[in-house]
Amino acid sequence: MKKLKAFSSAVAYIIIGLFILSALFPYFWMITCAIRDQSDLFTIPPKLFSASASLENFTYVLTRTRIPQYMLNSVVIAISATLMCLVAAIPAGYALARFPFKGRKIVSSGVILFKLLPQSAALIPLYIIMGKLKMMDTHFGLAYVHLFTMVPFAIWMSRGFFKTVPVAVEEAALIDGCNKPQALVRVMLPITGPGLFSVGVYAFMLSWEEFIFSYTFTSSRAKPVSVGIALFLGEDANLWGAVMASAILMGIPVLIVFFLLQDHFIKGIIGGAVKG
């Protein structure tokens, strides 16, 4: 019996290990391709490692392409979209958590169901709106359309954080002379600050990696790095080493933000999911 149990455990660990390796292999291949020469990428059979590793692709990307400008565009767009998302989501989440209006449960469910809508369903309406408002290929315009993917889940998360605060705490603030907006700003926001901070981190990550809207609504001035990487691919040249180097550079800011703030982010996600 013990041998059978040990054998089952060994098989389970092997299967899990294979799944982990299959998940990590694309990242390993991206890194190795980024530090290889262009000619070394097309060898048959492919090599897992290269003897001639260099940072030439990173130097090429940073000095001879517009990737640094595209990354700056992404920073401006992501920060702007995150701030607008929080301004829209926090009051909405607070209202859904505290105001007992008719149909509140339906609205709450509809908010998260709205998140399931495909981005392609909103392309034509948003394109018409962007054209009439003359916001095509602008940082603010792209940040605005990113709200389509960011706001629904941000509302749901912030609603969950506000529900974790006992009603008695807010009632005490109202007794002391605060009205509802003052209670939100002076009491609720400081208490739920760490959770709402995780909402902001999540919104930033969504805006940073978004592609479909960014590809549709930009042409040159406001092009983010998620779209700029695609410019390396063409009919005459496929600079795969530069593409992989750009992908690594694109992922570094998100990784830095996540690893520095992962405790707040994970606690916020769990807290909002439990009470949401």
Mean pLDDT of the chain: 82
**pLDDT, tens digit, for every residue of 194-233?**
788 888 888 898 899 898 899 889 888 888 998 888 777 6
Rounded to the nearest 5°, which phi and psi values hold at 238? Answer: -120, 95
Residues 6+ apart with CB under 8 A from 119: 148, 149, 212, 213
Q: Are residues 197 and 242 in contact, defined by beta-carbon separation less than 8 angstroms?
A: no
DSSP string, 97-120: HH---TTHHHHHHHHHHHTTS-GG
Residues 6+ apart with CB under 8 A from 175: none
Q: Are residues 32 and 48 in contact, defined by beta-carbon separation less than 8 angstroms?
A: yes
Alpha carbon of residue 267 to chain centroid: 17
Give exposure, 158-178, as e/b (b: 16+ Cβ within 10 Å).
bbbbbbebeeeebeebeeeeb
Measured from the Cβ of residue 95, the count of other Cβ atoms closer than 10 Å reads: 17
Tokens of 56: 């030439």
Residue 265 has pLDDT above 50, yes or no: yes
Task: Map tokens 């709106």 to a residue.
Answer: 129
Return the SS3 of 41: helix
Return the SS3 of 45: coil
Per-residue model confidence (pLDDT) at position 42 = 72
If pLDDT is split at 50, 70 and 90, which confidence band does 273 have? very low
CA distance 159 to 181: 16
Residue 235 has pLDDT above 60, yes or no: no
Which carries the bigger pLDDT value, residue 19 or residue 179?
19
Per-residue model confidence (pLDDT) at position 271 = 53
Q: Are residues 276 and 153 in contact, defined by beta-carbon separation less than 8 angstroms?
A: no
Angstrom distances, CA of residue 34 to CA of 37, 57, 61, 70: 8, 6, 11, 19
What's the whole-number mean pLDDT along residues 240-263? 81
What's the whole-number mean pLDDT along residues 85-91? 91
**pLDDT, tens digit, for every residue of 171-196?**
787 787 777 778 888 888 888 877 88
CA distance 27 to 55: 17
